Each structure stands twice: as C-alpha cells, then as structure tokens.
Structure 1
Amino acid sequence: MSSLKIERDTFQTAVTQGAQKAADKHHGSKVAATAAAISEAASGNLPGTKGDHPISAVVGTALTGGRQNAGTKGYLAAYIKQLEDNPLRTKMLTAGTLAGAQELIASWLAKDRNKHGNYFTSRVPKMATYGALVSAPLGHCLIWALQKTFKDRTSLRSKILQILVSNLIIAPIQNSVYLVAMAIIAGARTFHQVRATVRVGFWKVMRVSWITSPLCLAFAQKFLPEHTWLPFFNLVSFVIGTYINTITKKKRLAALRKKHFGDGGRPTGGSTMGRPEDYPPLGPNPPY
C-alpha cells in the first residue's frame, strides 16, 4: 500500500509539473506571437495597415477576425471609416449609446428599479439624449480645437502643453456641462438647485479627470489616430462613469431606505420603496 501511494503521488506530481510547463510554454508562445505581430505591423507588413499605429492595428486585426482577415472590411474598419466620413454623426451615435448603456448597467448593478420594477428607467433615454445631443457635439468641437491648435507639433514640450490645456480648459468646460445636465435629468428645476449641484460635485469630478485624463491623452497621442480620440475617451468615461454611477445609486438607495423605512426596515407614513422620482421633495433641493 505504501509503495502504491508513493507511485500515485509521484504520478500526480509529474502531471502537475507537465501541465505547468505546457501552460508556461503556451503563455510564452502567446507573448512571442503578440510581439511578432506588433513588429510586423510596425514595419507595415500587416495587410491593411501602414505601420503608423502598430498596437491599435494589432488590436483591430484581432477584433475583426485575425490576420487572415487583415486588410478586409471588418467591424472596426467599418466604424473607423464612418468616423472619417461622418465624424459628428458617428460620435453622436457612439456617445448616445454609451451614455444610455451606462445608466442601464449602473441601475442593474445597483438594483435601482423604477416603481414598476424595471431597470430601464426614464433616465436611460434622457442619458442617451444627453450623450448624443450635448456631450458628443461639445466634445467634437473642443477636441477639434485642441487638435487644430497643436497640429504638426510633435515635440515633448507640445505634448505636455496639450495635456495641460486639456486638463485646465477643456475638462472644466465638459465637467461643468455634465454636472448641469445631470442635475436637470435628476430633477433640478431652479438655477439655485443646478448651481448647488455643480458646486458640490465640480471638484470631485475634476479630481477624477486630472487622474485619468493625462494618462488617456498620453496614450492617444502615442498610439491612436486623431479621429479616434473622442470615441476612445468616451469608452474610458463609460467604464469610469458606470462605476461612479453604480456607487452613487447604491448610496442614494441606502439613504432613501433609511429615510422612508427607518432603521427597522418598515415603511414610515405609508411609503413604498422606489426611485427618488417616486417621492415628494424632502427639502429645498430635489432628492437626487
């Protein structure tokens, strides 16, 4: 019995070591293949690419079916062509879709339903409208002005100056408009309420922008064509915004439960749980 146990343990150890070696070899081959693909794209040998943006070319090739489909019209290639041919329309559709999806996903993650029990609340189409009709045109104009100002200026000093202008001029404008729109969507109806929302949230939003914006802009300067900058920024904002929106919804729902149900979990005054829009105003400011 003892010798059988030793043989079995030896066999299991050998299998484990063999599997680990195979995994390491597979990982190493994937890294080598990725490095080879980037090198190929940088030299302009990848079909459909010029070698100007090797990393984005490799990513785009992977998203559109692999090297065998390189140079053919894939989803990413079609989207980039639309960005070149119809930049504003494509950006509006992109921003509207992402803004609506952000609100829907955040509602689902936070379990924030309307009074009918649905995650597709009235805020979803409002956010989509904001993204398409406000955020995208504003971003399109501001990014265009930024790119035009620094056109053909590729020195390190110019890139740093571009990042500073983006963070000190463009970001405050975009964040202020965003906070005004969010206040109105959430129920603000007076100038005082909108101003209070902007005053409370401005520096919090700016701190997030000052952390993420330089990194994103530096990445875009290095690896992305200029016409893809705004969709890239929208995608980053989508991820960050979904996280912040989810946390905000959870905090608001917890506060509403405490206010309308009390610490014991029972409704006070016949209230039923729902979104802030389902309750009467609690004070001079709307409950958003």
Structure 2
Amino acid sequence: MGSSPPKKTTLQRYLSQLQQHPLRTKAITAGVLSGVSDVVSQKLSGIQKIQLRRVLLKVIFAGGFLGPAGHFFHTYLDKFFKGKKDTQTVAKKVILEQLTLSPLNHLLFMIYYGVVIERTPWTLVRERIKKTYPTVQLTAWTFFPVVGWINYKYVPLHFRVILHSLVAFFWGIFLTLRARSMTLALAKAK
C-alpha cells in the first residue's frame, strides 16, 4: 500500500495559487484584506451593526481594481527596470509609484467611496475631494514611500501586492478612524 502525499498547509496552498494564478490570487487577497479592514474599522469606530453593503463594495473595489492595478504596476516596473534592486533604481520605483499609482488609487477610492458606497451626489463628492484629497495624499506620502522602499528593495515581485494590501489593511483603519474623529470634531464645533 502506498502512502498518500502529505496534505498541504493553508500557506502552501496559498503560495501554490499565487504561483499558478498570480493575478487572481492577488485580487482575492486585496479584496479579502480590504473587507476585513472595513469590518475592523466599523467596529472600532463604534458602528453597532456591520454595514455589509459597504464591506462588499470595498471588497469589490480592492479585488477589482487595487489588487489587479498593483499586480500590473509592479510587474511593469520590474520589467522596465529589469528587476534591479540597487538604491538608485529602488528610489526611481518609489518616486514613480508615489507620483502615479498612489495619487490615482486615493483619488479613485475617494470618488468610489462617495458616489458608490455612500451614494452621495457627484457635486458633493467633488467638493469633499477638493477639501480632503490633498491632506489624504500628503499623509500617504509621509508613510507609503517607506513601504515602497521596503517593497522594492526586499520583497520579491510576487509578494509586493500582498505586502501593500497588508499595509493598506491598517491604512484603511487609520483613514476610517481619522474621518470619524474629524466628523465628531465638526459636530462638537456646531
């Protein structure tokens, strides 16, 4: 009697999927992490009943846009820079990411969140973006270049979107709690 091969661990199965189906795996990972981040954010901000529609819409945005966009962006950068990881190349990658993908991600998310998730009229969303987008992006620029540096210098290509999604998990919680504190401060000021 032959023995059956040992069962793969969850991590081994995940890594196998990442290797066999990188785009799909990164999209699903980004979506799941975004959804969990939103559930945590809702709980920490005092929402009693989880807003499932909001969670689902965030999963769709992250899985449908953020994960795939990150996958293609990182793949393109690695091809363009021929996989180099020297200091000058890493700096160029970080600068490119921070001047292209980062502002685009934040802008599109703010539009999506306002129009799709909150169902706010476009004119109000546009006004909110004019007021808050610069602060959000400037805050991101104080934090995400370090993440980018670590990502491009030390993380293999196939794990970069995953690292970014993990960091975005905490970034999403931070932004939600920050927005809540600003809302509470405005309410007290009135």
* Higher-Rg member (1/2): 1
Letter in 1 for 2:88: R
Matched, 1:89 2:29: no
What residue number does 2:177 align with? 246
Contact 2:93 2:152 in 1 (8 A): no
CA distance in 1, matches of 2:154, 2:129: 34
CA distance in 1, matches of 2:39, 2:29: 15
What residue number does 1:175 align with? 106
CA distance in 1, matches of 2:102, 2:183: 26
Matched, 1:188 2:188: no
Q: CA deviation at 1:224?
A: 1.7
Q: TM-score, normalising length from structure 2? A: 0.84
Cα displacement string for residues 109-149 of structure 1 (whole angstroms, at most 9, x for unaligned residues):
11123xxxx12443111111211122222222222222222
Please identify which structure carries the higher helix content. 2
Q: In the alignment, which of 103, 116, 128 is matched to residue 38 of structure 2?
A: 103
Runs of 4+ in 1 over 6 A off after TM superposition: none
Q: In the alignment, which of 79, 89, 110 is matched to residue 148 of structure 1?
A: 79
Q: CA deviation at 1:227?
A: 0.6
CA distance in 2, matches of 1:148, 1:252: 44
Cα displacement string for residues 217-247 of structure 1 (whole angstroms, at most 9, x for unaligned residues):
2212333211100010010011121122123
Matched, 1:125 2:73: no
What residue number does 2:93 align with? 162
Q: Structure 1 200/254 Cα, relative in aligned 2: closer, same or farther at 3 Å?
A: closer
Q: CA deviation at 1:173?
A: 1.5
Q: Structure 1 219/84 Cα, relative in aligned 2: closer, same or farther at 3 Å?
A: same
Letter in 2 for 1:188: T
Matched, 1:199 2:110: no
Cα displacement string for residues 55-89 of structure 1 (whole angstroms, at most 9, x for unaligned residues):
xxxxxxxxxxxxxxxxx943333222211211111
Letter in 1 for 2:104: I
For structure 2, the residue ranges without an aligned partner over 5 or more in a row are: 1-6
CA distance in 2, matches of 1:169, 1:214: 12
RMSD after superposition:
2.3
SS in 2 for 1:122: helix
SS in 2 for 1:151: coil
1:1-288 matches, within 5 Å, as 73-113=8-48, 118-184=49-115, 185-190=117-122, 192-252=123-183
Letter in 2 for 1:104: V
CA distance in 2, matches of 1:224, 1:81: 18
For structure 1, the residue ranges without an aligned partner over 5 or more in a row are: 1-71, 264-288
How many correspondences in the alignment?
Answer: 183
Q: TM-score, normalising length from structure 1? A: 0.57
Q: Structure 1 204/77 Cα, relative in aligned 2: closer, same or farther at 3 Å?
A: farther
CA distance in 1, matches of 2:87, 2:184: 47
Cα displacement string for residues 37-71 of structure 1 (whole angstroms, at most 9, x for unaligned residues):
xxxxxxxxxxxxxxxxxxxxxxxxxxxxxxxxxxx
Q: Structure 1 235/85 Cα, relative in aligned 2: closer, same or farther at 3 Å?
A: same
SS in 1 for 2:100: helix
Q: Structure 1 157/180 Cα, relative in aligned 2: closer, same or farther at 3 Å?
A: same
SS in 2 for 1:147: helix
